Amino acid sequence: MAELKNDRYLRALLKQPVDVTPVWMMRQAGRYLPEYRATRAQAGDFMALCRDADLACEVTLQPLRRFKLDAAILFSDILTVPDAMGLGLYFEAGEGPRFERKADSMAAIKALAVPDPEQELGYVMKAVSTIRRELKGEVPLIGFSGSPWTLATYMVEGGSSKTFEQIKRMMYAEPAALHLLLDKLADAVTLYLNAQIANGAQAVMIFDSWGGALSHTAYREFSLRYMQKIVDGLIREADGRRVPVTLFTKGGGLWLEAMAESGCDALGLDWTIDIAEARRRVGDKVALQGNMDPSMLYAPIPRIEEEVASILAGFGEGSGHVFNLGHGISQHADPAHAEAFVNAVHEMSRKYHK
């Protein structure tokens, strides 16, 4: 494998010294880029794009050609795992992801098999190895998965949900069924992320998009517990380097201390949390990633720069900060504003790294 030319993202996650604060953007390969829209049209649909290693590689690299980003992230979808478990993923125009079959009963959950990532998810592994090769050591490659709780919400509800009524009914009325599902998903995600690492991912991230929908005690029992299980089972060294793992619970500001105890290297922060407060609460236990409101990219460029300066000042001196948005970049964001954001992070952060 090519020697890594820019490793500041990996170094920051491990709280090692860096020259400037590294930056990447959630959903950086996506619909806000005209070249992405062209490649997706070429693929035919979203899942066809995910399943074609060369096209998935192309859209992963597109933002790196435009912006001085410090990491690439695998182009894929969190729902590849439930799809590989046989639920039949499809995308309804204007409706988002749907499943042909639900995992909404003990019998349905017992029938689910944990997929072999090199077989049922081989197309993802091919994309990882292709991207890693084509990056030529310029920046590290991030692999990822959804959290068990987040994947379970889609599997029980049959798709996206605003109220999570069906999974919450299962959680309180049939907790044994939900625990069985979450346990299978934790096993599946551990295998999936380890296979991504074996195929070239140099860091991994677990997206707990819907953890914030849970009560204080339910979060620990039904979400964090299973992310902890994954962290415990991950490969933590490859190519002679540590493989950092980041946990991100959207709406998870209540649980930063508990998340920091999981053994992860970093916590992703959404935009509702003050980064200075987050750093005070977790101390030096973990690095922090975040956390500008993605909608800030609609602002005039001087206002974006002001916000970058404020977040950098909030984190303060020293390593352990990976700058990012507090969630995915909007499809309506102006690429010129994204570029100004990335450049501002590098230029303004130098003074915090002596």
Catalytic positions, please? 27, 31, 40, 77, 154
Contacts with 183 (C-beta within 8 Å, 6 or more apart), sequence order: 148, 226, 229
Assign 3-state DSSP to the chain and report helix, strand, coil percentages, each to 5: 50, 15, 35
Please list the residues that pair with 136 across neighbouring strands.
Answer: none
Query: What residue type is assigned to position 147 of the chain?
Result: S
Six token digits for residue 7: 């490793």
Backbone angles phi, psi at 236, to 5 degrees: -110, 5
Six token digits for residue 104: 């909404």
d(CA 55, CA 32): 17
d(CA 72, CA 201): 10
Best CA proximity match to 201, nearest among 150, 229, 248, 236: 236
For 12, the 3-state DSSP assignment is: helix
CB 354 within 8 A of CB 19: no
**Annotated binding residues for substrate:** 27-31, 77, 154, 209, 327
d(CA 340, CA 353): 21
For 241, the 3-state DSSP assignment is: strand
Six token digits for residue 110: 């017992």
CB 203 within 8 A of CB 244: yes
d(CA 204, CA 73): 9
Q: Are strands 89-92 and 96-99 parallel, antiparallel or unpaired?
A: antiparallel
CB 225 within 8 A of CB 162: no
